[in-house]
Amino acid sequence: MKTYQNYIAGTWQLSSSGETCDSTDPATGHLVARTQSSTKDDVERAVAAARSAFHATDWAMNSHARSRALAAWANAIESKQENLAHLLSHENGKPIREARAEIASAVDALRYNSVMARNVCGRTFQPSRDAYGFLMREPVGVVGVITPWNWPVLLLLRDLAPCLAAGNAAIIKPAERTGAVTAALVELAADLGLFPPGILQLVTGKGSIVGAALVDHPDVDMIAFTGSTEIGQELMAKASRYVKKVALELGGKSPNILFADCDLERSVSTACRSVFMTSGQICMAGSRLLVEASVYEQALGLAKSYAESLRVGMPLDESTDMGPVISETQLKAILAFIEEGRRRGRVIAGGRRLSQPPYHCGHFIEPTVIADVPVDCSVVQEEIFGPVLVVEKFESEEEAIRLANATRYGLVAGIWTKDLDRAFRVARDLQAGTVWLNGYNRNYAEAESGGYKMSGLGRSRGIEGLYEFTELKHIHLTLDV
């Protein structure tokens, strides 16, 4: 059991509070590690160091140095993939196979942005014979990167890699529950000696203290946040005090729309996999399955069979399909949603807590499928953040679109049909930042993602994800001709 420290101004430091946060295994309740319970004073030191490093070093102007540092960090993480995957499984509860995949995706994000560091490009134009315009991309400055516990490695590096590639100084504030794996990543970066002191920093602790201090600090130029819609709304309101730039990826209640002509077995299994991975604790979970009426009962049977075939078990067991949810509080919230679904519809699979050995010390719940609930039911409208699939019926293409758009969220969606004309018609009318056709949850470092409506603001990944961490400056030259 290790106690991780903050990383500020190029040195590892204890919190000024002298206190630590415990990270516990959601499968067993055992202590995994300790991290620092930081204070506003710790944030002040980190911000001062970041501001100094941003102005005093050549990090913002040296794209070759940025590229080398990010590429070397990717290699270092890859070399420790198995150790990091085990720590992630212990701390988060996700199956080890999924943890390995998360580490690999994070490495890919770093490698992509190591190349993009040398491609932060503006453009020029000539409005008249005596005038030239230069549009320059410049780093924002000091960025607070606030990350969640559900995919703590990938979602950190998805934002942090382009932030650093663009030339910014970054202060990481991880979720309390996954501060250890985040600190382990930063240790690998620090050991490289390629990041100038103050450019990459870590301050762990409570969101109400550390996160709030970053948002409220006048010398933090931008906040990149991944988390719940409710916290995102609060953060955005506080950031408005300084008209601070924000990038937000928030909640989702994402539909998979199955038309009768689709490959039903493949579409149902893919949709189920998308909602039961990470025990449903993923913003892109395909938590709603909208099925054309003529194949509705058949799809219900397939979903029930899939859910009941999954092996719920200990995260480090290679045969485990689904681990625990993160906490007792989360488990109780999920069970409350299930009871509402039971009251207003049918629970056709799962729906119960697993409490017999070996589950008795952890937060385990059965993969759950709910059917025949009205569209205004909370299990349709709210992000459950648990292994709960809601199956709904539609009669027409127009009804499918209306139902899919009937929540406050708009993160992602899937459409399943052999009719590509219909697929593109429906995709055009869906209010979602990403729409997959005959597939789901296919994400790439080079392809932008982000939300409509209350699922977020701005884009991550790709060129636009890089440019989120820049300011655009127009420099105009008038010639004496």
Whether 208 maps to a domain, the answer reads yes
Instruction: Say if residue 1's pLDDT is above 90.
Output: no
Do 342 and 210 belong to one domain? no
User: CB-based burial of residue 1 (10 Å sphere; 0-12 exposed, 13-18 middle, 19+ buried)?
Assistant: exposed
Euclidean distance between CA atoms 305 and 269, whole angstroms: 10
Look at phi and psi of residue 370 and say left if phi exceeds 0, alpha if psi is from -120 to 50, else beta: beta
Q: What percent of the chain has pLDDT over 70?
A: 100
Do 158 and 51 belong to one domain? yes
User: What is the amino acid identity at position 463?
Assistant: I
Q: How distant, in Å, are the alpha carbons of 5, 33, 47, 53, 180 from that of 187?
A: 10, 15, 19, 19, 10
Judge contact between 357 and 368, C-beta under 8 A. Answer: no
Euclidean distance between CA atoms 224 and 247, whole angstroms: 5
- List the structure tokens of 157: 């590096």
Instruction: Say if residue 361's pLDDT is above 90.
Output: yes
Find the mean pLDDT for residues 120-145: 96
Q: Give the phi and the psi of residue 36 in degrees, each rounded to 5.
A: -75, 140
Instruction: Say if residue 142's pLDDT is above 90.
Output: yes
Do 364 and 464 belong to one domain? no
Do 231 and 351 belong to one domain? no
Residue in 318, 304, 292, 71 with CA at minimum distance from that of residue 192: 71
Do 227 and 266 belong to one domain? no
Structurally, the chain folds into a number of domains equal to 2
**pLDDT digit string, tens, across residues 214-238:** 999 999 999 999 999 999 999 999 9
Whether 259 maps to a domain, the answer reads yes
The strands making up 123-128's β-sheet, listed across from edge to edge, are 123-128, 131-139, 470-478
Do 328 and 187 belong to one domain? no
**pLDDT digit string, tens, across residues 88-118:** 999 999 999 999 999 999 999 999 999 999 9
Do 428 and 460 belong to one domain? no
352 contacts: CB under 8 Å, gap ≥ 6: 365, 366
Whether 30 maps to a domain, the answer reads yes
140 contacts: CB under 8 Å, gap ≥ 6: 166, 168, 221, 222, 245, 469, 470, 471
Q: What is the CATH number of the domain that holds 143?
A: 3.40.605.10
Is 44 known to be catalytic? no
Judge contact between 211 and 238, C-beta under 8 A. Answer: no
Q: Residue 285's pLDDT band (boundaries 50, 70, 90)?
A: very high
Do 224 and 268 belong to one domain? no
In the three-class reduction of DSSP (H, G, I as helix; E, B as strand; rest coil), residue 16 is classed as: coil
Euclidean distance between CA atoms 4 and 59, whole angstroms: 27
Euclidean distance between CA atoms 53 and 67, whole angstroms: 18
Whether 31 maps to a domain, the answer reads yes
Selected catalytic residue, list 91, 98, 102, 249:
249
Whether 480 maps to a domain, the answer reads no
In the three-class reduction of DSSP (H, G, I as helix; E, B as strand; rest coil), residue 123 is classed as: strand
Whether 59 maps to a domain, the answer reads yes
Do 437 and 288 belong to one domain? yes
User: What is the amino acid identity at position 16?
Assistant: S
Q: What is the CATH number of the domain that holds 378?
A: 3.40.309.10
pLDDT number for residue 230: 96
Expressed in percent and rounded to 5, the helix, strand and coil fractions of the chain are: 40, 25, 35
Euclidean distance between CA atoms 429 and 448, whole angstroms: 19
pLDDT number for residue 21: 96
Do 283 and 353 belong to one domain? yes
Residue 189 structural domain: 2-250+455-475
**Computed over its alpha carbons, how large is the radius of gyration of the chain?**
23
**pLDDT digit string, tens, across residues 23-79:** 999 999 999 999 999 999 999 999 999 999 999 999 999 999 999 999 999 999 999
- List the structure tokens of 385: 């953040």
339 contacts: CB under 8 Å, gap ≥ 6: none
Do 24 and 95 belong to one domain? yes
Instruction: Say if residue 481's pLDDT is above 90.
Output: no
Whether 449 maps to a domain, the answer reads no
Find the mean pLDDT for residues 387-415: 98
Whether 481 maps to a domain, the answer reads no
Do 277 and 384 belong to one domain? yes
**pLDDT digit string, tens, across residues 444-475:** 999 999 999 999 999 999 999 999 999 999 99
Q: What percent of the chain has pLDDT over 90?
A: 99
